[in-house]
Structure 1
Amino acid sequence: MTFGEQPAYLRVARDLRQQIADGKLPPHTRLPSQARIREVYGVSDTVALEARKVLMAEGLVEGRSGSGTYVRERPVPRSVARSAYRGPGSTTPFRQEQAAEGTRGTWESRSEQVEASAEVAVRLGVEPGERVMRTKYVFRDAGESMMLSTSYEPLSVTGRTPVMLPEEGPLGGCGVVERMAAIDVVVDNVAEEVGARPGLAEELAELGGVPGHVVLVIERTYYASGRAVETADLVVPADRYRVSYHLPVR
């Protein structure tokens, strides 16, 4: 192989990928067999197998037990809107988006007190092992799981207050800014960092993905005068959603 030349399995995968993109291999079509790939491209069984593995890892094809490998139907990505604080009465971004689109999303949540892990402690600026309120969410659109979220709030801030449980009490379901304002904590800054990684098995089971699928992870932290008052990880399936930001220019 000369400098700059791709390995044979990548060249085969590239050609098959292009056929899928062009519609020559439409969704639900069976991918050429390993023997057929070997014959058409003049490659070994090993190369043919590796090319198929590449397409599976990219989520373009899927194996069906006892039947073969088929082209996956590619969903049209939808947006998960992230927007700036909208003033008094604001709810969470998910609820804002649902209201704006006139749709009826649903969600489930469960809160419990836990000890802050080393990572969570760093993000909240507390000592590892300090008690925090952890709330896990599953957000659904038309019955389909579309986002997971796990948030943490230091009980040194919210403990023994009416907003200790994010989804219960007089301000249950309101956004972090509104809830904190109710206990005289003024949130003045929020930071979000977006990354991507392979989904964990339990995440993909909930989101309807398959092993190897990539998820977008939004690491969000709310601050009040430099002190973190909530941090959360939001997990979104990357093949079905895009994160869309709408922010004011100041």
Structure 2
Amino acid sequence: MRDGRDLTPSRQIADSLRSDITSGRLPPGGRLPTVRDLADRFGVSRNTAAKAISVLKSEGLITARSGSGAYVRESHPIRRLGPDRYARHRWQATTVTAHATDRPDSETTQQQGGQQQEVSLVEADDLIAAVLGIDVGTLVYERARVMTRDGIPTHTMTSYYRREDVEGTPIVDPRPGIAGGGGGFAVLSERGLAPHEITEDLLARMPTAEEVLLLELPVGEPVVEVRRITRTADGKPIEYARGVHAGSRFVWSYTYPIPD
């Protein structure tokens, strides 16, 4: 195990600042010492002090404001996600419960949800075609949404549907807000395509440049991609969706019996 003597000066400064952040001595939103102040405190060059700041930026612990300096990254309320979020009684809900930390017993707050969407006809790629049981290149409806909580973007969700399943419904309405009075699942139910079963795959990765801008992500923050297939009770796939979630704002939580 390495001790501080094995670290470069910039790493030693970064470790010291990291300790201040994790201990709360530098609270969320707190301003870090300037590069000049760090150089004077640690007896190093400004270039070395700047490298220490860069280390913390790459870890996502701090953010830089042009002309103002570096600040400890603000913490965000964390939403816990599990199967219950798809419960029928939640389809009309526009508020969500978020936690102060990733602990389920932490203080909670209610956040107002919102969404913007773009709806278009696109050609089904290999995966969409396989999921929906159609030919590659068939036109399908794409409903691309950006979800917000109290006005802050938290994740995207892009859904794909067969044209005959959603043509003329609120699902293809591009106006802001949930589809119709109860969201997309309620609309599908009214069409005789009630959602019954969901398969989800989750994978963590670093965001694309577009996702960084769309979700206003700090440097170094990963995202969790969710791939969802929704089926009716008789097994018919009625939606394929891909979502991208800011890694620091969600916890996935599941309780289930252990299979034999």
CA distance in 2, matches of 1:55, 1:29: 13
Q: Please tell me the residue identity of whatever aligns with 1:55.
A: L
In the alignment, structure 1 residue 55 sits paired with structure 2 residue 56: yes
Kept after mapping to 2: 8 A contact 1:90/1:175: no
CA distance in 1, matches of 2:257, 2:54: 45
2:155 to 139, 147, 152: 147
> Residues 63-212 of structure 1 correspond to what in structure 2 (within 5 A)?
63-68=64-69, 70-84=70-84, 85-87=86-88, 91=91, 95=94, 97=96, 104-155=112-163, 158=165, 160=167, 162=169, 165=172, 172-212=180-220
Compute the displacement of 1:111 (Å). 1.6
Kept after mapping to 1: 8 A contact 2:223/2:246: yes
Q: Secondary structure at the match of 1:234?
A: strand
Compute the displacement of 1:175 (Å). 4.4
CA distance 1:159–1:76, shift in 2 (3 Å): closer
Partner in structure 2 of residue 229 of structure 1:
238
Q: Deviations over 1:161-218 (max 9, x none)?
A: 65763779xx735345443333333533201222332333333333333444322322
Partner in structure 1 of residue 18 of structure 2:
17
TM-score, normalised with respect to structure 2: 0.69
Q: Please tell me the residue identity of whatever aligns with 2:165.
A: T
Q: Deviations over 1:73-121 (max 9, x none)?
A: 431432154433434x6516x63737xx775433222321111233433
CA distance in 2, matches of 1:245, 1:165: 31
Compute the displacement of 1:19 (Å). 2.0
Q: Secondary structure at the match of 2:96?
A: helix
Compute the displacement of 1:150 (Å). 1.1
CA distance 1:145–1:177, shift in 2 (3 Å): closer
CA distance in 1, matches of 2:216, 2:242: 19
Q: Secondary structure at the match of 1:229?
A: strand
Q: Please tell me the residue identity of whatever aligns with 2:247.
A: A
How many residues align structurally? Answer: 238
Partner in structure 1 of residue 42 of structure 2:
40
Kept after mapping to 2: 8 A contact 1:199/1:211: no
Structure 1 segments unaligned to the other structure (5+ residues): none
CA distance 1:7–1:186, shift in 2 (3 Å): same
Kept after mapping to 2: 8 A contact 1:90/1:178: no
CA distance in 1, matches of 2:78, 2:155: 12
Two-structure CA RMSD over aligned residues (Å): 3.9
CA distance in 2, matches of 1:246, 1:174: 25
CA distance in 2, matches of 1:67, 1:19: 20
Q: Please tell me the residue identity of whatever aligns with 1:79.
A: R
CA distance 1:181–1:48, shift in 2 (3 Å): same
CA distance in 2, matches of 1:73, 1:139: 21
CA distance in 2, matches of 1:32, 1:51: 11
State which drifts further: 32-41 or 20-29: 32-41
Kept after mapping to 2: 8 A contact 1:133/1:165: yes
CA distance in 2, matches of 1:147, 1:49: 32
State which drifts further: 15-24 or 204-213: 204-213
